[in-house]
Structure 1
Amino acid sequence: MQLELRHLQAVCRIAEAGSLGAAARRLGVSQPALSAQLRRIERATGGELFVRGRGGVEPTPLGQFVLAKARRVLNEMDALGAEARALAADAPLRLGCIMLVLLDGLLARTDLSMSGREITVDLEDSVTALSRMLGAGQYDAIVYGEVNDHEVALPEGVLVRTLVPREPFCIRLSARHPLAHLDRIDLADLAAESWMTLVEDDDGGPEALTTACAKAGFIPSLSHRITDRKMHYDLIAAGRVISLSQPTALRAEGTVLRPLVGSPVTGRIRLAWNRSSVSARQAELLYRAAARAYLANVGNNRFHQEWWDAHPELHPALD
């Protein structure tokens, strides 16, 4: 077997994630499939690339050598794509987004025709993938979230602007849940629940949930990881799981959204763009479009509208 770029990317993802399971999720493949691919790569390179350690997998000396070469090759390919993209002045502006609620209204508000650029929007479920693709020139701009104190590492040549500095996450649970009648829920009262595993596993969300639950005196039982929104909501409506949710999330039949006492988990929403492919005018248009898309969803839930109105210092600057 000859090594291809996808093989080099797989090796780098395993090293970055620190485990096959986490790397598989970021690559969008099953762990058995990634394990089988790694074995084929190791046969091609002539030896074992990773060993299992206390904190996950660690590269062997051969693995470190292959990683260094792989990163150099991938960086060169990233540079090639970005430089070629910069020369194509009439190409559409490509926006990548994490699965944020505001995306539902973002396209309707972009209107980059004023700046002479069309726009395309793609969804990802990994902040790491978004950042890397931004650095590779595969996206010109990205909209993403960070939870609690987590900060996403961004590539060089990128500018970033915060859309929403802070929003309190809430809980989605079945409308038949014994706590559904409460105006707000204490996290400690959810200790016996099964939780939906967060789709975005590299934005600080899993760590924030685990930390908040630990402070509340329990370890959350994580049982499902589903990207299909309808299936996600159906499981909650059936009372099988609960989940963290953005406070701007839409209502779903059979479920309710409730804020948490003390707001133990908070998020922020940010916009980042490549200076070489997005002008200051286009970046401003993107910022305004994303901000208005968020504002259009603030009223989806009365509790968040009240919280938002009480925190004008967090509102995006649209003057």
Structure 2
Amino acid sequence: MELELRHLRTVRAIADTGSLTKAAAVLGLAQPALSAQLRRIEKTLGGPLFDRDHTGARPTLLGELVLTRARVVLPAVSELQEEAVRFANAWATVERFRLGGTHGPLLGGLVDRLAAAHPTAPVTTYTSWSVAEIASLLIDGRLDFALIGVCGESTPPMADRLVWQVIGIDPVFVMLPENHPLAGETELELSALAGESWADVPGDGCFADCFATACARAGFTPLSVYETDTTSVVHLVQVGRAIGLCRATFPPTQGLVTRPLAGSPLSWRHLLGRNPRSPAADGAAGAVSGHTRSAYAEAVRRSDGYTRWLDAHPGFGPTSWEAVTSLRGPEPPPPPGLPASGPSV
């Protein structure tokens, strides 16, 4: 076995915590797995690194030698990685756009516009259900821009380190099969759907909590909630298995209708994010923001029903150019046992 950086991190964690049990918790490992890994490291380095007894683990002389080197090597490697990312962002000679996003309606529109406006620039995308993962990739310099959605007024991820611009605010509509008894209504009371099963997509925000709260206020608890991908949500609605939760910009789909909920108990903010310490993203921020707003406006125009609805609800739809969040602090996690999902599309 060759010594790797992760082995040095293991040795450092054991020394810092003074216990294999505590180190295993810090590293996210089971204690037997950590003990086995330590034995392999000690075999590679030629002797025991810790004296262990019921009081804990203390470095041997060999362990002290390894720790001295590890405490130099690990910070140096971390600094090298951060410096390399900063250098790549600042001095990249080939224009490119690295986009991240959750599975929403705007990413495809943004890619189309960037490809048309910058035909020689590579455009790459990365999608995830997790807004926390997308935000981490922005922080690490692996993405230039991110398109995400957050429920209501909840705080975007890493708001103290990233700039999040509000592109638009949509109410959450419900998606029904066109033969549903309520499909002919122009607006639905949430309580009228108390006997239905529901479907939406997964996520790591507070939407599931907000949906459960809205249902409780309407006097019922959902029978069941299917969390699955967008295509499966659409299928479940088409066959009458569930009612879908969707953004108001959901495009027209054969066999389905979308309807607003009375009082708009749920809403969804579309956000464009970037790292303010990234020179590459900073230089292109204005253009990317403009293209994103155009993609959102087109998504709104595709739905005649939503366009008419917006005329009577001026608090929704496209936001002003200056609408940038100033929220700070982490988003509170959903209560235990509730899925952290979101509208289907």
User: What TM-score does the superposition give when structure 2 sets the normalisation length?
Assistant: 0.66
* Cα distance in 2 for residues equivalent to 1:74 and 1:101: 39
CA-based RMSD of the aligned residues comes to: 3.4
Greater displacement, 258-267 / 189-198: 189-198
CA 1:217–1:311: 2 relative to 1, 3 Å: closer
* Cα distance in 1 for residues equivalent to 2:81 and 2:207: 28
Bigger Rg, which one: 2
* Cα distance in 1 for residues equivalent to 2:221 and 2:174: 16
Task: Tell me by how many angstroms 1:258 deviates.
Answer: 0.7
Alignment-derived partner of residue 213 in structure 2: 211
* Cα distance in 2 for residues equivalent to 1:78 and 1:206: 37
Residue 153 of structure 2 is aligned to residue 135 of structure 1: no
Residue 189 of structure 2 is aligned to residue 180 of structure 1: no
Q: Is the 8 A contact 2:170 2:267 kept in 1?
A: yes
Within 5 Å, give how 1:222-233 maps onto structure 2.
222-227=224-229, 229-233=230-234
* Cα distance in 1 for residues equivalent to 2:213 and 2:84: 40
Alignment-derived partner of residue 258 in structure 2: 257
CA 1:225–1:284: 2 relative to 1, 3 Å: same
Task: Tell me by how many angstroms 1:211 deviates.
Answer: 1.2
Q: Which amino acid aligns with 2:215?
A: C
Within 5 Å, give how 1:182-201 maps onto structure 2.
182-200=185-203
CA 1:178–1:223: 2 relative to 1, 3 Å: same
CA 1:167–1:3: 2 relative to 1, 3 Å: farther
| Partner residue of 1:45 out of 34, 37, 45 | 34
Task: Tell me by how many angstroms 1:308 deviates.
Answer: 2.6
CA 1:233–1:132: 2 relative to 1, 3 Å: same
Q: Which amino acid aligns with 1:291?
A: R
- What whole-Å deviation, never above 9, does each CA across 1:262-287 have from its counterpart, x for those lacking one? 00001111111122243544111111
CA 1:214–1:312: 2 relative to 1, 3 Å: closer
Q: Which amino acid aligns with 2:86?
A: E
Greater displacement, 99-108 / 170-179: 99-108
| Partner residue of 1:305 out of 304, 307, 314 | 307
Unaligned runs of 5+ in 1: 9-37, 48-61, 63-68
Q: Is the 8 A contact 1:115 1:282 kept in 2?
A: no
Greater displacement, 285-294 / 86-95: 86-95
User: What TM-score does the superposition give when structure 1 sets the normalisation length?
Assistant: 0.71
CA 1:268–1:74: 2 relative to 1, 3 Å: farther
Q: Percent identity?
A: 26
CA 1:309–1:232: 2 relative to 1, 3 Å: same
Q: Is the 8 A contact 1:3 1:41 kept in 2?
A: no
Alignment-derived partner of residue 86 in structure 2: 83
Alignment-derived partner of residue 149 in structure 1: 153
Greater displacement, 78-87 / 259-268: 78-87
Number of residues of Structure 1 aligned to a counterpart in Structure 2? 263
* Cα distance in 1 for residues equivalent to 2:80 and 2:223: 41
Q: Which amino acid aligns with 2:179?
A: R
Unaligned runs of 5+ in 2: 10-27, 37-55, 57-70, 323-345
Alignment-derived partner of residue 99 in structure 1: 103
Q: Is the 8 A contact 1:135 1:155 kept in 2?
A: no
CA 1:265–1:237: 2 relative to 1, 3 Å: same
